[in-house]
Amino acid sequence: MTADQDVDNAGNGVDANNNALPYALAAMLYNANLLGLGKDYAFPESSNTSSSRWDQITTLAKVLTRSHTHADGNTYDLFDAIQTILKWVLEQAPTINSNEVNSVNYKPPTPPAA
């Protein structure tokens, strides 16, 4: 096998026979339980250490693409969770970013009266 084929296989998470590498499988948007990554993940594994960028990217996918159905009946992924938190924060303080120059709601400080 050529070196460029090895690189291509590594990038695709497969071996020389085009079989998926078990450690490279990431159940993306997998409906997971809270605190369950090491217990109920579709492809369970234990803690590990790797200098491989491919392994690190795969691990990020495993963590960042999980979802969870909460008591309100909605299934949340990371984007939904962050937007839900942000929505709540903005409801508490709608002008929270009015002092930020790049905010569409920016209001320059009023100079003190002379």
Q: Is 71 inside a domain boundary?
A: yes
Q: Is 32 inside a domain boundary?
A: yes
Q: What is the pLDDT of residues 81-94, one digit of tens each?
A: 999 999 999 999 99
Total domain count, the chain: 1
d(CA 84, CA 78): 10
Q: Is 27 inside a domain boundary?
A: yes
Q: What is the pLDDT of residues 34-60, one digit of tens each?
A: 767 667 777 777 777 877 788 888 888
Q: Is 87 inside a domain boundary?
A: yes
Answer yes or no: is pLDDT of 61 > 70: yes
Q: Is 62 inside a domain boundary?
A: yes
pTM: 0.63
Query: What mean pLDDT is reported for the chain?
Result: 86
Strand-pair category, 68-69 with 75-76: antiparallel
Q: Is 31 inside a domain boundary?
A: yes
Q: Is 6 inside a domain boundary?
A: no
Q: What is the pLDDT of residues 70-79, one digit of tens each?
A: 999 999 999 9
What is the extent of the structural domain holding 30? 23-92
